Amino acid sequence: MVFVKNWEDFEIAAENMYMANPQNCRYTMKYVHTKGHILLKMTDNVKCVQYKAENMPDLKKIEKITSNLVGHMASKE
C-alpha cells in the first residue's frame, strides 16, 4: 500500500491533498489494540497516503494533525 515512512512527509502530503480538494477528501484512522498500531489514511478517491503509527510519541502528533484537519473541514470555505 501507499505507506509513507516519514511523519513530516505524511503530514505535508495529507495537508496538500486536502487543500487541493476539500470536498472529496476523507481522513481515516484505524486503531488495532492487539497489534498496537494506528493506521492513518488520507484519500481523495483518486490517490491515498497512509502512515502506520506504532509509538506513543506519535499519538500527540496525530492529535495535532487531526485538530488541524477538523478545523479546516468545519470552517467557512
Cβ proximity to another protein: between 8 and 55 the closer is 55
Closest CA to 1 of 19, 20, 28, 22: 28
The reply to whether 62 sits near another protein by the rule CB under 8 A is: yes
Cβ neighbours of 51 (radius 10 Å): 25
Distance CA 72, CA 46 (A): 21
| Beta-strand relationship, 48-53 and 26-32 | unpaired
Site for another protein in 10-29 (CB under 8 A): 22-23, 25-29
The reply to whether 66 sits near another protein by the rule CB under 8 A is: yes
Please classify residue 37 by burial: count the beta carbons closer than 10 Å to its beta carbon, then call 0-12 exposed, 13-18 middle and 19+ buried.
middle
Among 1, 45, 46, 55, binds another protein (CB under 8 A): 55
Among 1, 5, 8, 32, binds another protein (CB under 8 A): 32
Site residues (vs another protein, CB under 8 A): 22-23, 25-34, 36-38, 53-59, 62-63, 66-67, 69-71, 73-77
